[in-house]
Amino acid sequence: MIDPRLLDPGEEMVKHRWLDSDDLNQTVRVLESLRRWHNAERSMSEKARRDMDLGETDMRALRYIIACQVNGQLATPSELAHHLGISTAAVTKVLDRLADRDHIRRLPHPLDRRSTAIEATEETRSAARKAVGRTHAGRFNVAASLTAEEREIVIGFLDALSATAPQD
């Protein structure tokens, strides 16, 4: 329930009296739609993680490793740590879990003897394509079906929403 008429009738936090009833109803519908999208996205992500027996950080790591492979780049523990925003010690634990479940292989880095290259197994890449690929393709097709002007409006709206998040 995100209707300010119900949650904040005294307008202590959300000023809404300046909107007529139709505009206020439509604004609430936008927020309700965002909530539905957020719930659907969370549900899809949780299902993919369950299907692959991975935690959130492990799934993010795996996505990064696969993206590197697809683009012909080497994934390394230090680059993964930077991407995930965690320490190299924490990355070691992530990689240990992924290796224990046969999701990745650690290989000698071809150019740096002090480093390791990481690659996802073919089985994991295939599972990821099944778990995430079709869903992503559906989302892409929805965005692509918009006109250029509609996409710019959505981009501006979502960027403006993102800017409302508290900064650390």
Supply the DSSP string of 135-165, one letter for each residue: HHHHHHHHHHTS-HHHHHHHHHHHHHHHTTS
Q: pLDDT, tens digit, for every residue of 93-145?
A: 999 999 999 999 999 998 888 889 999 999 999 988 887 777 888 899 999 99
Cβ partners under 8 Å of residue 166, min gap 6: none
Q: What's phi and psi for 111, nearest 5 deg? A: -115, -15
DSSP-derived 3-state class of residue 64: helix
Domain extents for the chain? 1-52
Over its C-alpha atoms, the chain yields an Rg (Å, rounded) of 21
Residue 66: how many CA atoms within 13 Å on its side-chain side? 19
In a 10 Å sphere around its CB, with 0-12 CB exposed, 13-18 middle and 19+ buried, how is residue 58 labelled? buried
Q: What is the pTM of this model?
A: 0.71
Q: pLDDT, tens digit, for every residue of 44-98?
A: 888 877 877 788 899 899 999 999 999 999 999 999 999 999 999 999 999 999 9
